[in-house]
Chains A and B, each alone.
Chain A
Amino acid sequence: EDKVVQSPLSLVVHEGDTVTLNCSYEVTNFRSLLWYKQEKKAPTFLFMLTSSGIEKKSGRLSSILDKKELFSILNITATQTGDSAIYLCAVYLYGNKLVFGAGTILRVKS
């Protein structure tokens, strides 16, 4: 059975802290890995990763994939209260199915 596991389940930090969110997966027919941010509405796309070892960066957020060890991390530096959200990791399979983890709930305190 295809499985995506995220850790930690939840995290509380103070503004300015750096956080690392983890995503491991066991799937057949891996095509790509995606990160989404979900507030009280639609998940919004952050990154798509297809190749190992190549860091993707957008402002204070960055992500990297390790296809040998089957995991990805999402880093957020200098966190702000607006970063508070659920961060979802999903693996896109050949056959056009997206398998999600349960998410990491991040709360940034001011």
Chain B
Amino acid sequence: GAGVSQSPRYKVAKRGQDVALRCDPISGHVSLFWYQQALGQGPEFLTYFQNEAQLDKSGLPSDRFFAERPEGSVSTLKIQRTQQEDSAVYLCASSLESGGPSFSTDTQYFGPGTRLTVL
């Protein structure tokens, strides 16, 4: 596709509800990343996939957060029993490759984000 797409763009949830956020990376991109951006802050790393393998989930703030990319393309970030502190913009990014011999493949391209508000 032309760029990274995310859906929904906006989500309002009541505290305690489960939510699922979707990311469609750029076609052919091997690596996929999820970030959480709180108001007035830079994005913070959540998790990283290379194809379908989740290689790093060290940034997930709690076991209520779960991400998957079962076929190595589309990814879903699920948040269970949402809390008010989960309110943020969730950004997805993809790159052709990460950490390979060519630095040019490191560049991450971001989607528009999903703004999650938990009431």
Chain A: residues with CB nearer than 8 A to chain B? 4, 6, 31-32, 34, 36, 41-45, 48, 50, 88, 90, 92, 94-103
Contact = CB atoms under 8 A, between A and B. Distances in A.
Nearest to A43: B110
The 6 A-B residue pairs with the shortest CB-CB distance, nearest first, are A100-B42, A42-B110, A96-B98, A43-B110, A42-B112, A41-B112
Contacts of B45: 97-99
26 contacts: A32-B103, A32-B106, A34-B107, A34-B108, A36-B110, A41-B112, A42-B4, A42-B110, A43-B91, A44-B110, A48-B106, A50-B103, A90-B42, A92-B106, A94-B99, A96-B31, A96-B50, A96-B98, A96-B99, A98-B108, A99-B45, A100-B42, A100-B43, A102-B41, A102-B42, A103-B42
B48 A96 contact: yes
Contacts of B43: 43, 88, 90, 98, 100
Contacts of B50: 96
Nearest to B43: A100
Interface of B: 3-4, 31, 33, 35, 40-45, 48, 50, 55-56, 59, 91, 93, 98-99, 103-104, 106-113
